[in-house]
């Protein structure tokens, strides 16, 4: 009997280990097939560039420890780790399989390549020119409606706002940490400073920017094909995928915000 009990425990442990390995593999597939890995890498580069250009942080040897403390937290490696951890710990195995299946859909892969193309430096010049002519040559109402539906279904605007506010908040906290103790802002004052860092219509401007990016990325795709792509994200599988990706990013950035405070506090000691 003891041998049977021992074997049963071994079987359960082996099954748990195999499932854990399966979850890790699927989470990694979601991260890569979705193109999230490229987006995270781009965020990493953007934040480092923003720090180099920030008036209170650039070209000042005394700010070195603070910049280092911020980059130890807000970087591609940490964001990747937190994103994957959420998928591994919070998303059921069956739903991870659903997400991988959606991202491997040929049409989703085709559109993902168009979206990822926006990250290429040579495309940025084309994008600027495209945006400038949008006023004189606006998209049709039907085209704009399709793009808006896609932005809502993929939760693109929400994700962009989370990333932007986290980066701005990190820079404000970095500058605040360098002030003399008596001049430092408390968390409530930092929140107020963050609100004042954005224009009143910032969310609208962010959405318009995303609209322009989508219109440019899909400029050679006809309405019928774009409508079929949008329908994929309006399916149960699409909504599940978008929800989990959004929650994974939101959780990762919330944790980064907490880590940022601790990292900057360690510099002051």
- Residue 245 contacts residue 84 (beta carbons within 8 Å): no
Kindly indicate the confidence band of residue 268, based on its pLDDT and cuts at 50, 70 and 90: low
Q: In whole angstroms, what is the distance from residue 146 CA to residue 141 CA?
A: 9
Determine the distance from the C-alpha atom of residue 208 to the mean position of all C-alpha atoms in its chain, rounded to a whole number.
18
* Mean pLDDT of the 113-124 span: 85
Q: What is the pLDDT of residue 39?
A: 80
The pTM assigned to this predicted structure is: 0.78
The answer to whether residue 264 scores a pLDDT higher than 70 is: yes
End-to-end CA distance of the chain: 59
Predicted confidence band at 225 (pLDDT cuts at 50, 70, 90)? very high
Cα dihedral value 195, 196, 201, 202, nearest 10: -70
pLDDT > 90? residue 241? yes
Q: How far apart are CA 44 and CA 39, in angstroms?
A: 9
- Which among 52, 257, 34 has a CA at the least distance from the CA of 155? 34
Token digits of residue 38: 């490229």
Query: Please, is 260 exposed, middle or buried when counting C-beta atoms within 10 Å of its C-beta (0-12, 13-18, 19+)?
Result: buried
Beta strand segments in 145-203, E: none
Q: Do 69 and 267 meet the contact criterion of CB atoms below 8 Å apart?
A: yes
pLDDT in tens, 128-151: 899 989 888 999 999 999 999 999
Please give the residue that has the higher pLDDT: either 44 or 107.
Answer: 107
Structural domain spans, the chain: 31-268
Residue pair 84/28 in contact (Cβ under 8 Å)? The answer is yes
Query: What integer is the mean pLDDT of 184-208?
Result: 85
């Amino acid at each position: 009997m003891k041998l049977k009990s021992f074997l049963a425990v071994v079987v359960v442990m082996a099954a748990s280990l195999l499932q854990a390995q399966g979850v890790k593999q699927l989470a990694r597939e979601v991260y890569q097939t979705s193109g999230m890995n490229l987006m995270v890498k781009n965020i990493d580069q953007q934040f480092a560039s923003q720090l180099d250009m920030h008036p209170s942080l650039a070209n000042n040897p005394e700010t070195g420890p603070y910049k280092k403390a911020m980059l130890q937290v807000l970087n591609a490696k940490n964001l990747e780790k937190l994103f994957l951890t959420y998928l591994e710990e919070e998303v059921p195995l069956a739903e991870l399989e659903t997400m991988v299946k959606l991202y491997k859909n040929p049409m989703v892969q085709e559109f993902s390549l168009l979206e990822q193309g926006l990250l290429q430096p040579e495309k940025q010049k084309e994008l600027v020119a495209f945006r400038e002519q949008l006023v004189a040559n606006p998209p049709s109402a039907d085209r704009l409606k399709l793009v808006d539906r896609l932005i809502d279904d993929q939760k693109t605007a929400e994700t962009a706002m989370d990333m932007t506010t986290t980066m701005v908040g990190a820079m404000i906290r970095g500058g605040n940490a360098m002030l003399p103790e008596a001049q430092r802002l408390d968390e409530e004052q930092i929140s107020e400073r963050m609100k004042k860092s954005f224009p009143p219509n910032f969310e609208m401007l962010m959405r318009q920017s995303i609209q322009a990016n989508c219109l440019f990325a899909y400029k050679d795709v006809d309405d019928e094909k774009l409508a079929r792509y949008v329908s994929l994200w309006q399916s149960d599988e699409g909504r599940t995928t978008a929800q989990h990706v959004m929650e994974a990013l939101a959780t990762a950035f919330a944790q980064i915000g907490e880590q940022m405070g601790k990292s900057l506090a360690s510099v002051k000691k």
